[in-house]
Amino acid sequence: MCLSKIINSEHITTSVSETEHFGAEIAFFAVANGIKTVALYGGLGAGKTAFVRGFCSGLGCDAEVSSPTYSYMNEYKCEEIDVYHFDMYKVKTIEDVHSVGFFDYLNAGGIMVIEWSENVDGFLTEETLKILINVGKNENERIIIVK
């Protein structure tokens, strides 16, 4: 996928499987372009975890991907590269950010994919790929904006 076609673009998916497929496409794009952090934004039920499922699948990971709401981070060993899946929903302070190990994984060699990035936006680098997922007009429609 070409850099100019993905950055600052809007994509519409109409099912969970399409959202997962788009996540897989972004995974290929991230690896090809050396992106180490993918920040996801969107409300409850927006499809962030479905996106991460597809992202990991695209990298050859066959683990069961689930939101790390209580553990804060799940690590997936994929064929291409390790994925560190963070959920920052409950993170409110700099101490929280430190305690979940966020800074330890910034240079760990894998790709960080972060749900609820709103809560750590100030700690993300300029190289972070930012993805906003909004619920569309229909139940399974998602509007995905990549920045």
Mean pLDDT of the chain: 91
2 pLDDT tier (thresholds 50, 70, 90): low
pLDDT tens across 74-128, in order?
999 999 899 999 999 999 888 989 888 899 998 889 999 999 999 999 999 889 9
Answer whether 51's CB lies under 8 Å from 131's CB.
yes
Residue pointed to by tokens 């990298």 = 59
Position 53 pLDDT exceeds 60: yes
Q: What does the pLDDT average to over 39-55?
A: 95
CA atoms within 13 A on the CB side of 63: 18
Say what the pLDDT of residue 63 is.
Answer: 83
First-to-last alpha carbon distance for the chain, in angstroms, is: 15
pTM over 0.75: yes
CA R_g for the chain: 14
| CA–CA gap between residue 109 and residue 105 (Å, rounded) | 8
- Pick left, alpha or beta for residue 67 (phi over 0 → left; psi -120 to 50 → alpha; otherwise beta): beta
Domains in the chain, CATH or no CATH each: 3-146 (3.40.50.300)
